[in-house]
Amino acid sequence: MELELTPAFPTLIGRLQIPDAGSMNRDLEALILAEEAKYSSLGRSNIGGWHSRPDFLRWSDPAVAALTTWLTWSLCRMIEASAGSKVLEGTLSVSAWATLCREGAYHAPHSHPDSAWSGVYYVDAGSGNADQPLSGVLEFLDPRAGVEAVTAPGDPYGEPVRVRPQAGLLVVFPSWLYHWVHPYTGQTPRIAVSFNAALAPTSGVLRPTPTLEPVVSSVAA
């Protein structure tokens, strides 16, 4: 006889290490640093650092187009894993923005309302700091209410999920999931592109369109 277990209320977090991303990342870094020099930061969840306008996917550059393709592919796989392939027919609206963290900058705990999925792509993870192992680390908070008040053997509840930035790493997660970024203590910038996405039910074929804001892509299984 065995105890039947049901994985109730799972929260999916997707990760993809984009292959051979070095050249794309160098071009993205140059674009983002140039944009930082031209425009002041928008104040969002970032405390310190720099936050671009939410028009990143409208930037006319092959590196942006290449990243858009990876974002679309990853979002389609996340939708499939979350709700099945039958819901993939529709219009995928995506908006993105670039961020830079320099020493002392961090992102306060937050979620992304009015979206279904969110994510981040690391262009440059910055420099490490052996004395501060959580420097710049992305942390997801347990969404279950009251888990911090529960004491159970092995402490299986309430533990955060942490993602250490790596150049070329793309992370996708549900937009309602609260998360934050630990204060960054490196000497070189930590550079990332964050994004939000939602799916509207219409028919079509996969067609990324990075010239629109929000970016609209028709997707099908």
- Which two structure tokens, joined as six digits, stand for 103? 């020493």
In whole numbers, what is the pLDDT of the chain averaged over residues? Answer: 86
Could you check whether the bond before residue 160 is cis, i.e. omega within 30 degrees of 0?
A: no
Instruction: Bin 53: left if φ > 0, else alpha if -120 < ψ < 50, else beta.
Output: beta
Give the DSSP letter of residue 17. Answer: E
pLDDT at 149: 79
CA atoms lying within 13 Å on the CB side of residue 3: 3
pLDDT at 211: 29
If one compares 151 and 104, the residue with the highest pLDDT of the two is 104
pLDDT at 213: 35
pLDDT at 209: 35
Kindly report which listed range (153-167, 184-198, 200-214) carries the lowest average pLDDT score.
200-214
* Percentage of the chain exceeding pLDDT 90: 61
pLDDT at 214: 38
pLDDT at 220: 38
- Which two structure tokens, joined as six digits, stand for 42? 């928008």
- pLDDT for 18-42, tens place per residue? 999 999 999 999 999 999 999 988 8
